[in-house]
Structure 1
Amino acid sequence: MMKWSTFLLLLTALFISNSSNAQSYQKTDHGIKAKIKSTAIEIQYYNPSSVRILKSPDGRPFTKESLSVIKKPQKTVFSVKQQGDVVNLRTATLNVALNLKTGDIIYSTVKGELLLKEKQDGVQLAPFNDAGTNTLTVQQLFILDRDEPIYGLGQQQEGKMSQRNVTLNMVQGNLDDYIPFFQSVKGYGVFWDNYSPTVFTDNPEGTSFKSEVGDCVDYYFMYGGNADGVIAHMRELTGQAPMFPLWTYGFWQSKERYKSQDELVDVVKQYRKLGVPLDGIIQDWQYWGSNYLWNAMDFLNPEFPNPQKMVSDVHDMNAHMIISIWNSFGPHTKQYKDLDKIGALMDFKTWPESGSEKWPVRRDYPSGVRVYDPYNPAARDIYWNYLKLMFALGIDGWWMDSSEPDHLDPKPSDFDNKTYLGSFRKVRNAFPLMTVGGVSTHQRAVDSGKRVFILTRSAFAGQQRYGANTWSGDVTSSWNALRSQISAGLNFSLTGIPHWNADIGGFFLSKFKRKLEDPEYRELYVRWLEFGAFTPMMRSHGADAPREIYQFGQKGTKYYDAIEKYINLRYHLLPYIYSASWDVTANQSSMMRALVMDFPKDKNALDINDEFMFGKSLLVSPVTNAMYVKPGAGEKETIQVEDFSTIRSKETYLPAGADWYDFWTAERFSGGNKVSRQTPLDILPLYVKAGSVIPLGPSVQYAEEKKWDNLEIRIYPGANGKFVLYEDENDNYNYERGVYSTITFTWDDTKKTLAISDRNGSFPGMLNERKFNVVIVGMNKGVGENLTGQADKVISYTGKKVAVKF
C-alpha cells in the first residue's frame, strides 16, 4: 500500500506538472463540482467513508434517480484544499483527490495508503441512440495494484474466487446474476450504478465498467477497512436485510414438479412418518394448467381441486409451503388482459415458447406468453392484486422463477421495448430488483404478522432489503458444477446480499443416464447436500428424478443415513444459524463468508475457492470430487459401481491467526497449515475456530417443535470468544420494535471462565428459566452432531448474569 509520504510526492508531481493550467471548482453542501475538459464532475458525500461520483458532458442536463440506492447524500464534515491542479477532499476516514486538469480521482486513507485511482483519461461519454432517445454509452477505467484480489460482481459459474483477469458481459441470465459491485482486499468497494448491459473488464490495461446506456458515469466509492465494513456501507446505501422466519432455515424439499396436491401432501406425510425433519415444501409450475394459462396464479389444473385443503394439510403437519410464480403471463390469463390494457407487456421471446407441453418444442403453436413490465407501479399493483388471492389461502412465501427474466435468442431490437422507465435496454439488469421488490413491498403493506419470504432466481444491487433468497439457477448435476457453487455463492454474498442457495443435487441430471440408479450421482447428491447444510437455505430440488430422502434407500443404508445425518445437523445448528441471521440484520454481517472476510492478512487464504466460513465460527470444506465409484463391467458403455473399500481424504487449508478444531473428533490444529481429513461418505471436513462459543439445539421434526430450554453450549478453548444468542417470536416484524432478546456468552480463555450476561430485552413466549449444558471441547469432547448429554457443567439461568469457572 502507498504510504502518506509517497502520496504527497504524487500530489506534488501533479501540482508541478499542471500548475500552469490551474482550474476552479465549486464547493457544495455535500462535496464539490468542477468542469474539466467539457465534462461536469460532481463528488457527493453520503457519509465520511462513502462518496458518489457523477460525470457527464458539460451543459447536458439530466435527472438520475437510483433504483438501487435509497440513501440520500448526508451533511458530512470535510475539508477542501487545493494545490495547483489538485483539490484534496478530506474526512475523518477518507481522502479524495481530484485532478482539475485531467479529471482523474485518487482515493486513499487518511494515513496516506493508496486505495484506488482512476486511469488518466479513463472516462468515456459517447453519444448513443437508445430507441430514439439521445443518450450516452459510459465507461470508467481504474488502476488496481497488480496482485490485488477483488471479489463480488454477483454470481458466476466459473469457479473463480478472486475476480481478476476476467471479462464479464453483464446481462442477467438463468445461471449468472450480475451485480456491478466489487470490493478489494484493501477494504474498499466500488458500486457502478447502472442497469443497462454492461461489460466489466480487468486486464493489464486497467479495470473498467462500460455500460451501453447511461445519462452519466455514476458510481459510489466506499471505504470500510475490511469486507464487513464495505458491506455495511453498501447496505447503508441500498437497504438493510430484514430477518427471515426461523422456519426458512430448516430443510426444504422440492422437485420439478409435484403433479397433484395429493402428491405434494404425501411427501410431507412421508417425512413425518420417517421421522426426518422438514420445514418446507414447494409447488413448482403448471398447477395453473396449460401454457396458454401460464402463471395464472390460480389452481386451474384439475389435479389441484382443493388448494385450501392442500395448504391446510401441510400446515396441520407443521410444515410450510411456497409456490412458483413467474414474471410472464399466458394470453388467456386475466393478468395478461389487465396488463395489456395499460401497455405493460413486453415483446420478446421467453419461456415457454410453445402452447404445447410436449417435448421437443412445437414452435408452430406459439404460447403467446409475454413478460410484464415491473418498472411500472400500476403493473406491480396488478401483479399483487392477483397474487393476494393466493396469499389469502395461507401460502407462506413465493418462488419467483425466471426473475431475470428468461430472454431467449435475444435480438438487439428486443431491448427497444418500452418500459415505464425508458427502454428495456436502459433498465435491463434491474428487472429482478423491481419484480421482487413489488411483491415484497405489497405483502409487507398488508401483513406484518408474517415475514416476507421470496425464493428468486436472480438479483440486483439492493435486493437484500426485500426478504429474498436467491438461488443459483438451473445448474447441471456435475462435480464441476458443485465446486463452482462455492465461489458463486461467496462472491454473490460479497456484494452485500446475504441470502443465497443452490439446487441440492443440481437441476438437470443429463450427465447421469441411470439417474438415481447411478452410484456416482448418489455420491454427488450426498456431497451437495452436505454443502447445502451450510448455506442460508437448505433446499433439495431438481428435474429428471425425484430427490426425497426415501428415493435414496432406507434407514441403515449409506446414502439415506448420510442425508438424514446432515438434515439433523442442520436442525441442531438452528440456534447458531438464527443468531447469525440476526447478526446480518443488526450488524450488517454475512452468513456465507469468503476467507478474505475473516483472514484478509493471510495471503494463502485469499483465492481459495472450495472452502468458506459459515457464520464466524465454522469453516466448511465441501468434498467436490467423486471418491467412491469406479468403472464396472458393461457391454456397450462403462457403468460406475460403488467402491467403499478404501477411505479417501480431502486436504483443507486452515487460515493463519487462529487454532482450529476438527468438529467431528475435537483434534486441534494450528492455523496457517494444510490438514488432511478422511472423508467417508458421511463426513464433510468441518472445523471450528478456537475461541468459538456454539449453541446446539434439540432434535426436532421442524424448527419450532421444541423450546430452546436445554441448549448445549460448546466452548472451543484456545482464544477468547463471544457469542450472542438471539431469540424472538420466530416470525412477524415485532423485532423491529425491539421485541426480542439477546444473551451474550463470553469466554475468557486465560481464566477459563464463561460469563453469561443479563438477558437483554424480552418477547411474548420468552423462556424465563432454562438450562445451558456447557461442554468444554477437549475437556469432555462432546463432538459431532449427536447431543451428548455429558455437560461439564449445567447452568440454571433465569435471565441474570452468571459466571462459571472451569
Structure 2
Amino acid sequence: MRKHKVVLLFFVFLTMPIVVLAASFQKISDGIIVSLNQSSSTKARTIRLQVITDNIIRVTATPLTKIQETKSLITTYADTKKTGWSAKQSGNFVVLTTATTKAFVSIKTGEIRFTDLQGNIILQEQRGGGKSFKPIEVEGKSGFSFRQVFESPADEAFYGLGQHQSDEFNYKGKNEELFQYNTKVSIPFIVSNKNYGVLWDNYSMSRFGDPRPYTNLDQFKLYDKNGKEGGLTATYRQNKNLNQVSLERRESVIDYENIQTIKNFPKGINLANASVTWEGEIQPKESGVFRFILYYAGYTKVYLDDSLVVAERWRTAWNPNSYKFSAKLSANKKHKLRIDWLPDGGVSYMGLKALSPVPEAEQTRLSLWSEMGQQMDYYFIRGNNPDEVISGYRQVTGKASIMPKWAMGFWQSRERYKTQAEIVGTLKEFRNRQIPIDNIVLDWNYWPETEWGSHEFEKSRFPNPKGMVDSIHALDARIMISVWPKFYHNTEHFKEFESKGWMYMQAVKDSIRDWVGPGYVGSFYDAYSADARKLFWKQMKDHLYPLGLDAWWMDASEPNVRDCTDMPYRKALCGPTALGPSTEYFNAYALMNAEAIYDGQRGEDNNKRVFLLTRSGFSGLQRYSTATWSGDIATRWEDMKAQISAGINFSMSGVPYWTMDNGGFCVERRYEMAKEGSADRDEWRELNVRWHQFGAFVPLFRTHGQFPYRELWNIAPDTHPAYKTMLYYTQLRYRLMPYIYTMAGMGYFNDFTIMRALMMDFAADKNVLNIGDQYMFGKELMICPVYKYKARTRDVYFPKQTGWYNLYDGKYTAGGQKQTVDAPYDRMPIYVAAGSILPIGQQIQNTTQAQTDLKIYVYAGRNGTFTLYEDENVNYNYEKNAYSTIEFSYNDKDKVLNIAARKGSFKGMAKERNFQIFLVDQTKPLGIDQPSKEFKTIHYDGSKASISLK
C-alpha cells in the first residue's frame, strides 16, 4: 500500500507545473538563469541574464519553464563573456556583477535593476515586477504579446526610436507606435540621458509608452452642434462653398483612415471639391490628460474649447500623416470640438482618435510593448555618455561602414528623369554652371511600363544604359538607381520567385492594381528567405550590376505593397514570411533586403564600397552600408521643422546615416501652379533656400521631389538670392569635406554619431534636454535651421559648457543663454564651439578632386583636439589599415597648436601639404569667408610640428 502511495505521489509530481524554490538559481557559462514560482501565466517564470560585455547585459524572459534558443535578426556579436564576472544570491536577489555593472534579479517577483558598482541605480524595473505576457496565436504559430515597464525619474529624457513625423523630440511621457510606413521608420532602441540604452530585440509592431491602441471618439459622450447626444455634426459642402451644404449628418466616429473605412463617407460626395466640418462637444467619463492622434490628408485644423490646437497642416491625398496633441479634459464636462477639413483629392483620408488618461507616474515610465514574439529579449547597454551607449548598440548589432566619399557630397534627384538624355543633360548643366555635385539619381519607372521588376530599360527612353552610366562617370559623377523589391506578376523575375514560394501572393490573389497606367498586378518578394535574398541580388547582378552603377536606391522597403491599407490587411499583403507570420516579423523587412544587396555586392567585388539608400530601416541597418531617408514628406514649413527632430532621433537610434528630400517630396498645388512674381513662387523659393541650408548639414546632402523641378536653376535664375544662397551652401558642404569625411571615418573607428542632439555633448546643461530644433553636426558645429516663412531671426540656446563663435563673422557669444540671433535670407545661423579645430578645404566640384592644402581654424577659449582622417575614398582598404590620421591639438593657455606626426598611410596619400592656420578669439573675430592676413603657414611633411598662434 505504501508503494502505491509513493508511485501516485511521484506521478502527481510529474504532472504538476515545475516549481523551483525561490532561493535557487542556475549559473551558466555566460550568466544566470532564475526560475520563479509564479502563480500567474501572465508573468515571467524564467529569466536569463547573459553578459555580453561588462557594460552590456542581455535579458531574456518567458512565462514558460525554458528559454528558447533563437537566432536574432539584428545582433552580430561573436560571443558572450565567459569570465570576469560573478553571480551570487544576496537575500531576496540574485546579483550578477561585472567589472562595471551589477544586475539584481528578485527571486520573488523577477524584478530587475541595474546599478553601478557603488549601488547607484541606472535602470530599475517597475517595482513589484514590470514584465507581463499574454498568449497569442497567428497562422497556427504560438507566441506571446508582452510588455516591459521600468521606473523613470522625473529628470530623465528619452531619445531614439527611429524617425517619426509628429515633431516630437524627447519621448519622456509620450507614446509612439513602432511600425514601418512611408515617412515612418521604427527602430526599437532608446537612449536615456542617464547614460544607458535599451535595445528591444523584437520585430513585430510595438509601442513605446502606453501599450493601448488609440480608439475612436465614441469613447466620449458626443453631442452635435445643437446639443443633441449621439454624435458630432458632420457637414459636407460641395465645391468648398461654405454656404452650399450638400449633406449634414451625425457621426460618432471619425475613422476614414484606410481604403476600407473611406467607404463610410457619404455616397455622392466628391471629396476632390468638398469641404467638411465636424463640430459639437465631447464629454469624457474621467478627468485628466487625453492624448489625441490626428490622421490627415488635405488641409486640416482642429479646435478644442475654441482654441486652435492643431494649426493648419497639409498632406497629399495618397500619403496621409499623423500628428499628436494632448489636452486636459474634465469628467462629465462638455468640451467643444471642431475639425475643419479640405480634402485635396478624390480619395482622401481623415481620422481622429484618442487615449484616455493614465496616472502621470504610469505615463512617464519607460514602457515597451510588442505584439508577438517567442519570448521577451532586450539588451541593457550602459556607458559614461551617449556616445558610449551608441557604441554599445553597435557592438551588439554591427559597426557602421564608411560610406564612399562621393556619398558625402551633393546628390541631385527628381521624381523623375524620364530619359537618358534628360539625366545626362542635367548633370552636364551642373558642370557647366560649376555647381558641385557627386551623385545623380535615376528614380523609378525607367523600365517598360508593363515590366516592373524586370530590371530592364525602356529602349525608346534609355537606348544605351551602359553609355548613360559611362557618360555620367566621364563627368566625374556617380549614378544611383532605384530598385524596388516589387515585381509585376507577368515578369520572369516574379515567376522565378513564385516557383520557389518566395513571393507574397495575397496582392496577386486579390488582383490589386497599382497606380501606373491602367494599373498592373504585382507583389513583393519575401526577403526573410536567405535563398530569396540571393536570387534578388542575382537578378540585379545579371541585369543592372554590369552597367557599372554605383549605388542602389531601395524604395518602398517597409514593405509597402499597397498604400493606405488597414493593419490586418497590411500584414496579409506581406506574409507569411519564410520565418513565420508577418505579425511576428513585421518590422525587419528593410534590414533583410539591405543584407541581400550588401552581401551580394561584396561577394562580387570586395574592393568597391556598397552604398544603399532605403526608405525604411531597423536595428542593425548600419552594418550594411545603408542610409535611410525620411520618405515622401510634404513641402510645408511644419514638415521641414519635423525633419530636425526626426533626423536627430534617427541618428541617436544608432544608425548614423540619415537624409531627407530637401524641399519636401509631395508638393502643394499652389506651388505647382505658381507664376513668376507671385507670393506662392516667392514662398516656394524661400522654403527651398531654408531647406537647402539645413540639408547641407545632415549626414547625406540630397535634393529630391515632385514637380516643380529641384535643380537650382529651375528653382530660381542665377541672379536671384535663392540661387546664390543654395549655391553657397552646396559649395560650403564641399569646403567642409575634410571635416565631414573625418566624421564618416569616426563612424566606423569610433562608433561616432554625425548628427547629434545637444544633450550628447552638453548633457549636464538641463536646458538642452528638450531642444529638438538645434543640433550638433559633429562636435564642433551647432546648426540652427530656420523653419518659418519670412523669419529673419530665430531664438538660439547656447549651451553653457563653452563659448560660441558665429561661423560667418567670428563674433563670440558666451554659453548658458538664449538669444534672438540674425537669420538673414541667405544665411542659416551656425556656431562653432570654443576649443574647436575646423579644417576647411579649397573649393572643389566633386570629391575626386583633392583638397591637400587646408585652412585650419582654431577657436580660442578652451583646449581642443581634432584628428583628420583620410583614406582611399571608395574601397574597403581601410578595413586593412590603409588610412591615415593627423592629430591637431590646441593648448588655449599657451595659444599653441600642435600637429602630431601622421599615422598610417594609403595609396595616393599626399605626403606633403600646406596648412594655413587661423586663430579666432573674442578680440579677433574672423569668419570663414572673411579675408585675413593674420595666419601662420606650415609646410607639413608628416612630421610633428608646433605652431605658436600668439
Using the size of structure 2 for normalisation, the TM-score is 0.78
**Structure 1, unpaired ranges of 5+:** 1-20, 629-647
- Whether contact under 8 Å (1:775, 1:781) holds in the other structure is no
Q: 1:98 aligns with which of 93, 105, 120?
A: 105
Q: 1:204 aligns with which of 353, 361, 372?
A: 361
Q: 1:776 aligns with which of 919, 928, 931?
A: 919
More off after superposition, 315-324 vs 673-682 = 673-682
Matched, 1:760 2:903: yes
One-letter code aligned to 1:70: T
Matched, 1:662 2:839: no
1:15 is aligned to none
- CA distance in structure 2 between the aligned counterparts of 1:283 and 1:771, rounded to whole angstroms: 39
1:51 is aligned to 57
One-letter code aligned to 2:745: W
2:425 is aligned to 266
Matched, 1:525 2:688: yes
1:196-595 equivalences in 2 (<5 Å): 196-201=204-209, 204-205=361-362, 206-290=365-449, 292-349=450-507, 354=513, 357-358=516-517, 365=519, 367-388=520-541, 389-408=543-562, 409-412=565-568, 415=571, 417-510=575-668, 512-514=670-672, 517=675, 518-595=681-758
Going from structure 1 to structure 2, the CA distance change for 1:352 and 1:560 (only over 3 Å counts) comes to: farther
Partner SS for 1:567: helix
**Offset of 1:138 from its aligned partner?**
1.9
- CA distance in structure 2 between the aligned counterparts of 1:577 and 1:356, rounded to whole angstroms: 40
Count matched residues.
760
Going from structure 1 to structure 2, the CA distance change for 1:484 and 1:262 (only over 3 Å counts) comes to: same
Partner SS for 1:772: strand
1:23 is aligned to 23
One-letter code aligned to 1:795: I
- CA distance in structure 2 between the aligned counterparts of 1:302 and 1:352, rounded to whole angstroms: 29
Going from structure 1 to structure 2, the CA distance change for 1:540 and 1:352 (only over 3 Å counts) comes to: farther
- Whether contact under 8 Å (1:782, 1:790) holds in the other structure is no
- CA distance in structure 1 between the aligned counterparts of 2:932 and 2:479, rounded to whole angstroms: 34
Partner SS for 2:843: coil
**Offset of 1:349 from its aligned partner?**
4.8
**Paired-residue identity, %:** 38
Q: CA-atom RMSD, angstroms? A: 1.9
One-letter code aligned to 1:381: K
- CA distance in structure 2 between the aligned counterparts of 1:396 and 1:780, rounded to whole angstroms: 48
Matched, 1:804 2:812: no
**Offset of 1:52 from its aligned partner?**
0.6
**Offset of 1:146 from its aligned partner?**
2.4
Q: 1:107 aligns with which of 110, 114, 125?
A: 114
- Whether contact under 8 Å (1:345, 1:373) holds in the other structure is yes
1:10 is aligned to none
**Offset of 1:561 from its aligned partner?**
0.3
- CA distance in structure 1 between the aligned counterparts of 2:142 and 2:476, rounded to whole angstroms: 57
Partner SS for 2:587: helix
**Offset of 1:61 from its aligned partner?**
5.9
One-letter code aligned to 1:118: E
**Offset of 1:25 from its aligned partner?**
0.5
- CA distance in structure 1 between the aligned counterparts of 2:569 and 2:402, rounded to whole angstroms: 41
Matched, 1:123 2:131: yes
1:605-616 equivalences in 2 (<5 Å): 605-616=768-779
For each residue in 1:24-43, what CA deviation from the matched residue of structure 2 results, as whole angstroms up to 9, or x when unmatched?
A: 11111111111113411111
1:81-92 equivalences in 2 (<5 Å): 81-92=88-99
- Whether contact under 8 Å (2:671, 2:708) holds in the other structure is no
Going from structure 1 to structure 2, the CA distance change for 1:753 and 1:352 (only over 3 Å counts) comes to: farther
**Offset of 1:498 from its aligned partner?**
0.3
- CA distance in structure 1 between the aligned counterparts of 2:616 and 2:49, rounded to whole angstroms: 31
- Whether contact under 8 Å (2:209, 2:367) holds in the other structure is yes
- CA distance in structure 2 between the aligned counterparts of 1:714 and 1:394, rounded to whole angstroms: 39
Matched, 1:678 2:822: yes
- Whether contact under 8 Å (2:95, 2:104) holds in the other structure is yes
Partner SS for 2:147: strand
- CA distance in structure 1 between the aligned counterparts of 2:614 and 2:874, rounded to whole angstroms: 20
- CA distance in structure 1 between the aligned counterparts of 2:506 and 2:154, rounded to whole angstroms: 42
- CA distance in structure 1 between the aligned counterparts of 2:68 and 2:802, rounded to whole angstroms: 52
**Offset of 1:355 from its aligned partner?**
5.5
**Offset of 1:354 from its aligned partner?**
3.2
- Structure of larger gyration radius: 2
1:632 is aligned to none
Matched, 1:724 2:724: no
**Offset of 1:79 from its aligned partner?**
2.4
**Offset of 1:511 from its aligned partner?**
5.7
1:41 is aligned to 47
Going from structure 1 to structure 2, the CA distance change for 1:136 and 1:514 (only over 3 Å counts) comes to: closer
Q: 1:627 aligns with which of 783, 790, 797?
A: 790
1:692 is aligned to 836
- CA distance in structure 1 between the aligned counterparts of 2:819 and 2:938, rounded to whole angstroms: 36
- Whether contact under 8 Å (1:436, 1:466) holds in the other structure is yes
- Whether contact under 8 Å (1:536, 1:591) holds in the other structure is yes
More off after superposition, 87-96 vs 560-569 = 87-96
**Offset of 1:690 from its aligned partner?**
0.5
Partner SS for 1:512: helix
- CA distance in structure 2 between the aligned counterparts of 1:81 and 1:676, rounded to whole angstroms: 57
Partner SS for 1:505: coil
Q: 1:164 aligns with which of 172, 175, 185?
A: 172
- CA distance in structure 1 between the aligned counterparts of 2:893 and 2:674, rounded to whole angstroms: 52
Q: 1:188 aligns with which of 179, 183, 196?
A: 196
Going from structure 1 to structure 2, the CA distance change for 1:788 and 1:454 (only over 3 Å counts) comes to: farther
Going from structure 1 to structure 2, the CA distance change for 1:342 and 1:781 (only over 3 Å counts) comes to: farther
For each residue in 1:316-347, what CA deviation from the matched residue of structure 2 results, as whole angstroms up to 9, or x when unmatched?
A: 01011000011111112221010001111113
One-letter code aligned to 2:547: L
Going from structure 1 to structure 2, the CA distance change for 1:304 and 1:95 (only over 3 Å counts) comes to: same
- CA distance in structure 1 between the aligned counterparts of 2:659 and 2:405, rounded to whole angstroms: 16
**Structure 2, unpaired ranges of 5+:** 1-20, 39-44, 211-359, 676-680
- CA distance in structure 1 between the aligned counterparts of 2:71 and 2:436, rounded to whole angstroms: 46
**Offset of 1:516 from its aligned partner?**
6.0
- Whether contact under 8 Å (1:477, 1:510) holds in the other structure is yes
- CA distance in structure 1 between the aligned counterparts of 2:893 and 2:596, rounded to whole angstroms: 53
Q: 2:72 aligns with which of 66, 69, 83?
A: 66
